[in-house]
Amino acid sequence: MLRFVVSAGLLASAFSPVAVVLAVVVHPFPDVWANVVLAVALALPLGLLPLVWWRAQRLGEARLRPAKVRRRDADNLALLSSNVLPLTVAFFAPDDARTPASVVVLVILMLLYVRGGLQYLNPVLVVIGVHLYAVELDNGVEVWVLSRRSRLPQTEPIDAVQYSDHIYLERRAHVAR
């Protein structure tokens, strides 16, 4: 259950900024106050991100033994660039189709994110200083590690928690080094 909460929190925070922009641009409700409430509600996952990160630290610990570590922060650009599509729809769709078209495009992107197991992609994490690493383990398996450290050593063991298949968060105790 905790793994689901962490994955859902990362999903919500990854798409929260674009959802807020869509609410402001599309303004689906006739009253300004209702659109403001919607935008604030859609922004809430950003505030919950530190809680999600903290809760993830309670997952079972694993010691990863890397053979090769590559920083992959640029992979977040793919998710970020996919946000352009719903915003384009919001700006250029006819008024009567703007809201449903924007929602459909955003839901499709979110489904691709979940079904593709892309929880490690989150532009908001990059903004708050979390880095993405592709780590090839000594047994040949490649996993993704999210870490607050700007550099992970190539062969030093990494204490992490697994929250999804092949996706880990580095343990907090080792982040402060």
Number of structural domains in the chain:
1
Q: Is the pTM of this model over 0.85?
A: no
Q: Which two tokens stand for residue 144?
A: 């993704």
Each residue of 25-46: pLDDT tens digit? 888 888 999 989 999 999 999 9
Q: CA–CA separation, 34 vs 41, rounded Å?
A: 10
pLDDT in tens, 102-130: 888 888 888 888 888 888 888 888 888 89
Tokens of 59: 């997952």
Domain that holds residue 158: 2-174
Length, in residues, of the chain: 177
In terms of phi and psi (left: phi > 0; alpha: psi -120 to 50; beta: otherwise), the region of 129 is: left
For residue 16, the number of C-alpha atoms closer than 13 Å in the C-beta half-sphere is 21
- HSE-up of 62 (CA within 13 Å, CB side)? 19
